[in-house]
Amino acid sequence: MDNLPEDREQAVRALWRHSMAGKENIDQIVSFPGILTLIVSLLPSNRVDSSEASAGLLRNISLYDDHRKSVMHVGAVEEVIGILTRRALSQKVR
């Protein structure tokens, strides 16, 4: 969270690609302190790529029961509902 917004966005995009390799990689991602908070904070980004990567990463993480509650506890559900109600939301993010 202390890095520049561009660096945070780039990191989330890289983690999203990394998460596509399966549960072992997702377990590694979730082990970083504050990572879920970072991901949720980038959901409402004005940059479509960052918002899409955040949403995709949260989807991949929440596929596994042992991480689903953690995703809910950082406020991801509320944030997802908030971005879905935005009229100008890109189809990529949805």
Q: What confidence tens digit (pLDDT) does each residue in 50-89 have?
A: 888 998 999 999 999 999 889 888 888 777 777 777 666 6
At residue 25, the pLDDT reads 96
Cα–Cα distances in angstroms (integers) from residue 7 to residues 24, 53, 77, 87, in the given order:
24, 14, 24, 27
Q: Which of 54, 27, 26 is nearest to 41 (CA)?
A: 54
Taking only Cα atoms into account, the Rg of the chain, rounded to an integer number of angstroms, comes to 12
Q: Which range has the worst mean pLDDT, 3-7, 10-14, 67-71?
A: 3-7
The share of the chain scoring above pLDDT 90, in percent, equals: 48
Q: Please state the pTM of the whole predicted model.
A: 0.82
At residue 52, the pLDDT reads 87
Encoding tokens for residue 60?
Answer: 């991949």
For residues 51 and 83, the answer to whether their CB atoms sit within 8 Å is yes
